[in-house]
Amino acid sequence: MTTGVIPGGPPPEPGPTGPDGPQLPEQRGEPAGHQDRHVDNRTRSSVITARAAASFEPLGRSVATARSFVRDTLQGWGFGDIVDDAVVLTSELVTNAVVHAGTAADVLCLRSANGVRVEVADRYPEREVPLQSAAVSMGSPDREGGRGLQLCAALAGRWGVEYTPTHKNVWFQLDSPERPVGTRSAGPSLPAELLPLADGRVRVAVVQIDRGGTITAWNEDAEELFGYAAEQVTGKPLTDLAAWPHTPGTGTGVAEALRLSRWEGSYGIRGADGRVIPVYASHLRVRDSGGEPSTVCLLVRDHERAILQTPLRLPANTDAGTGADGSNTDPFEVFIGSPAPDDLDSLLQRTVERARDMLDADAAFLLLATDDETELEVRASTGLPSARQRFARVPVEAGPGRYGSARMPAVHDDLTAAPGAVPLLGGTGMRSVVTVPLKVEGRLTGSLGVAAEASGRYSNEEALRLQFAADRIALAVESARLGELERLRRGSLSFLVEASDLLAGTLDRDQTLALMAQMTVPTLATWCAVYTIADQASDPYLSYVLHEDEELIDGIKSLLSKVAPPDPVPTPGARIWPAPGEAAHQAALRSSMRSLSLGDSHHRIGTTIGPTLATAAAVGGETVVLPLVARNRVIGMLTLGKPADEHFRQEILELAEDLSRRAALALDNARLYSERTAISQSLQRSLLPPGLPQIDGVEVDVIYRAAGEGNEVGGDFYDLFPIRDGAYGFAIGDVCGTGPEAAAVTGLARHALRLLAREGYGGPAVLERLNSAILDEGARSRFLTLLYGELWPQEDGSARLKVVCAGHPLPLRLRQDGTVEPAAEPQPLLGVMEDLELYEQTVTLDPGDVLLCVTDGVTERREGTRMLGDDGLADVLTTCTGLTAGAVAARIMRAVERFAADAPSDDMAILAMRVPEVLQD
């Protein structure tokens, strides 16, 4: 959301106009039945004295933010009488824009002497309001959407709808009620002795601060109050003069206050004489006509605070359940304000702010109990360094006795006398504190506390007042907390479903590690590291590191490599691991010490100190470790971390634990798959020849492609081996199926062929004996198609072959003239019948001829109902005239791959032999 306030800015254009002047309502798309009510608004003469604008994203929570923006703006302008109507109308119109239209909403508030005009524009001009007569109903007021215009008609003095090519703008104007001129609020008449005490000459310092916190204006009263002339302080940061009560001597607190749209409270200003002058201040953030923001600060002496201090909603002595007029009011609304914030965080923040103001405290905090009521988690605070404390956890039972338990009210007069009594306030400068429990039906749901820098500020009377307020809000807080938990659980379920789908979608170990880290950062943590354990005897190994800022990854990785890894404890749940934070702190300290010792050479190591300090800040927060347990074994650890001074929510840790269980199983599945793939690939390599022999006078080349993902052993194989001097055996075969059974037959065939051929058996005898060996395997046997042959290079440059084709795709012979013909006849395959009568055929390859042998993965390549087939293979081979054996095999493979878009579903082997042409002298 972006906002801005421009006191006294120029009036905006009232709306679109036609060529001859202002458009009529019919031209603007306004409901015709309301012409008489607001047509005169188009020429209004009221002077715009201030404006405030804000833009809201198309998110559900933007509606609540828009309500708060309008409420704060109008209350700041003094229009408390009409603020409720304005908030209701804005809520409906913004809901129509961000929820129903699904676009961003731009809200503009305009102040004039007569009242307030609010404009809500969305970026969906196509959603027009249809022209209709007054008698036509605008819809049911009970339906979820579309009530904005009805409410405008009922509540606003004037309203309308405007259209542009890019926006639809709904506006309404609320006139301020009749009241005495200049009266905004009034108090009772008091005797003079009861009036607030002030000096005879009241001085109000007016100081203007730019967006960088620098003083740009300093009036005469400021010179009198603090002793500085305007030229002495102009251009200096206000933090040089301000003594902020919560962080003395620093500008952290005041810098945050200057960024708020409105702030009121006490602090100190160091005068020219060095003394700190207590002041009461009222800050208002504004912007000039050019859009440049600044803050106007009104300062008076602290004992004159009544001049600036905003009146309390109710007198201090008014009963909490009775209004100023004696009417009964809701005690919850009295304390928290109306309307109550919609979301839990806003409700808790409003609670601590009201509790602080109620007891005139310097700080307040609210903690919520975990489900088991053993710890309290900091959820809201004011006046404390909230970034450091948010989501920090403290035990419910911090010590013996009443004051050591959050279940009972406690009052501490001086924390310096009882250090550690309230761990949350350690190092904050707070001395007195009162805490009370929040209980619902006797169950502890939280703790509310206020604190002051002075000692002895609170007694049992203040504790009773605070307890009364806590009892009023406990049920609302618990209801909002349960609603938030329900939303978190729904979001967690969606997150876990998506995570499970992503993790189940890969069996690659490295990709699984990356997914684990990317799902946790930044959703669950700012950075994460994954340690893996290879086996029980191995130490944890840092496998993956990720940070939401990629520039910090190397620094964190280097830091963790120097820290002993966490112990692989199988106990479920997250446990704190302080080692990274401590190591980062020590590294930053050593770097700082080295830089200080170098004196003038400090600039030479500036580039090394920066990354060290950045790494220390990145890992300086809470770090937790979750074990990755799969199949009753710790296979790694998931480490999640927050930056300096940040803590994890309990719900986030529970979600991380669920994720770690799923990630552990996915990581172990990836490990098993990788091991299986490695085994399969190793076995596949063992079933193929380690290399091809060089044959004088014959070119030989082979291409082998395994189908699938590489985790199955294929049934295709080839071989080429010397039998004796001048004779070579070659084979290409295909065993039915894949896997271990097919691998057994493949290994048997390959080794049997070599053994029998070298024993002097011819081709038919070799295959008949191999057939018997396969049948002897019994139920484990698989049938086998096999092309086996013997090759003899001849002195005249040709090559003679004897070939037996047992159920295998026929070898093709390519002649020099481009003709292609089968080089053998089909015969029965092996592993089916016991008595085979095989014969061999003799083929002579002339110089330039090619013999192509393939497995059925090539010929049975499919694209829908089409199949490459023997004819398609022959057609491709006819284009290979004059190519080498390697080029022939490559062209065949390219043609097969291009034949279909899908990946091959079967293994493919291509064996090409070519007799080179004889070169003539």
Q: Which token pair is 52?
A: 């405030």
Query: Please, which residues have CB within 8 angstroms of residue 849's CB and are 6 or more apart in sequence?
Result: 813, 814, 815, 816, 914, 915
| DSSP secondary structure of 134-160 | TTS----TTSSS--HHHHHHHH-SEEE
| DSSP secondary structure of 239-307 | GGTEE-SSSTT-SHHHHHHHTSSEEEEEEEEE-TTS-EEEEEEEEEEEE-TTS-EEEEEEEEEGGGGGG
The residue written with tokens 């970026």 in the block is 123
pLDDT of residue 345: 80
pLDDT of residue 336: 62
3-state secondary structure of 395: strand
For 555, list phi and psi in degrees, rounded to 5: -65, -40
Write down the pTM of the prediction.
0.46
**Alpha carbon distance 652, 583 (integer Å):** 25
Residues in the chain, overall count: 921
3-state secondary structure of 591: helix
Number of helical (H) and strand (E) elements in the chain, helices listed first = 22, 37
Q: Which token pair is 210?
A: 């730019």
| DSSP secondary structure of 752-803 | HHHHHHHTT--HHHHHHHHHHHHHTTGGG---EEEEEEEEEE-TTS-EEEEE
Angle of the 83-95 helix axis to the 148-155 helix axis, nearest 10: 160
Q: From the CA atom positions of the chain, what is the Rg in Å?
A: 42
Q: Which token pair is 392?
A: 């920090």
pLDDT of residue 852: 94
pLDDT of residue 386: 52
Question: CA 227, 233, 238 angle in degrees (round to 5)?
Answer: 105
pLDDT of residue 332: 53
Dihedral angle of Cα 189, 192, 197, 198, to the nearest 10 degrees: 90
Q: How far apart are the first and last CA of the chain?
A: 89
Q: Which token pair is 490?
A: 């729904």
**Alpha carbon distance 774, 733 (integer Å):** 14
Residue 103's CB is within 10 A of a number of other CB atoms, namely 19
**Alpha carbon distance 742, 83 (integer Å):** 83
Alpha helices in 803-884 (DSSP H): 856-859, 869-877
Whole-angstrom CA distances from 126 to 29, 88, 103, 129, 898 are: 12, 25, 12, 9, 49
Give me the residues of the chain with pLDDT under 50, please.
1-45, 128-145, 182-183, 246-252, 313-331, 387-388, 599-607
**Alpha carbon distance 856, 867 (integer Å):** 11
Residue 86's CB is within 10 A of a number of other CB atoms, namely 24
pLDDT of residue 556: 86
Query: Please, which residues have CB within 8 angstroms of residue 567's CB and are 6 or more apart in sequence?
Result: none
pLDDT of residue 919: 61
pLDDT of residue 900: 86
3-state secondary structure of 531: strand
Query: Please, which residues have CB within 8 angstroms of residue 549's CB and are 6 or more apart in sequence?
Result: 618
**Alpha carbon distance 648, 153 (integer Å):** 49
Query: Please, which residues have CB within 8 angstroms of residue 51's CB and are 6 or more apart in sequence?
Result: 5, 6, 9, 12, 108, 109, 110, 111
**Alpha carbon distance 750, 131 (integer Å):** 87
H or E segment to which residue 363 belongs? strand 363-369
Single-letter amino acid code for the residue at 165? P
**Alpha carbon distance 543, 513 (integer Å):** 8
Provide the sign of the torsion angle of the four alpha carbons 613, 617, 622, 623, taken in this order. negative
pLDDT of residue 40: 40
Ordered strands of the 623-630 beta sheet:
541-547, 527-532, 633-641, 623-630, 575-576
* SS3 assignment for 174-210: EECCCCCCCCCCCCCCCCHHHCCCCCCCCCCEEEEEE
**Alpha carbon distance 803, 840 (integer Å):** 5
pLDDT of residue 131: 43
Question: CA 167, 168, 172 angle in degrees (round to 5)?
Answer: 130
Between strands 48-56 and 2-7, the pairing is antiparallel
Among candidates 732, 576, 737, 757, which has minimal Cα distance to 653?
576
3-state helix, strand, coil in the chain (%, to 5): 35, 25, 35
pLDDT in tens, 612-654: 777 777 787 888 899 988 888 888 889 998 887 677 877 788 8
Among candidates 209, 195, 201, which has minimal Cα distance to 285?
209
Dihedral angle of Cα 327, 333, 335, 336, to the nearest 10 degrees: -160
**Alpha carbon distance 716, 748 (integer Å):** 13
Among candidates 248, 204, 239, which has minimal Cα distance to 224?
204
Residue 126's CB is within 10 A of a number of other CB atoms, namely 7
Residue 333's CB is within 10 A of a number of other CB atoms, namely 13
**Alpha carbon distance 260, 209 (integer Å):** 13
Query: Please, which residues have CB within 8 angstroms of residue 232's CB and are 6 or more apart in sequence?
Result: 272
The residue written with tokens 């609670």 in the block is 351
Whole-angstrom CA distances from 115 to 47, 77, 176, 182, 622 are: 11, 10, 5, 14, 51
Extended beta strands in 476-547, E state = 527-532, 541-547
Residue 476's CB is within 10 A of a number of other CB atoms, namely 18
**Alpha carbon distance 415, 436 (integer Å):** 17
3-state secondary structure of 20: coil
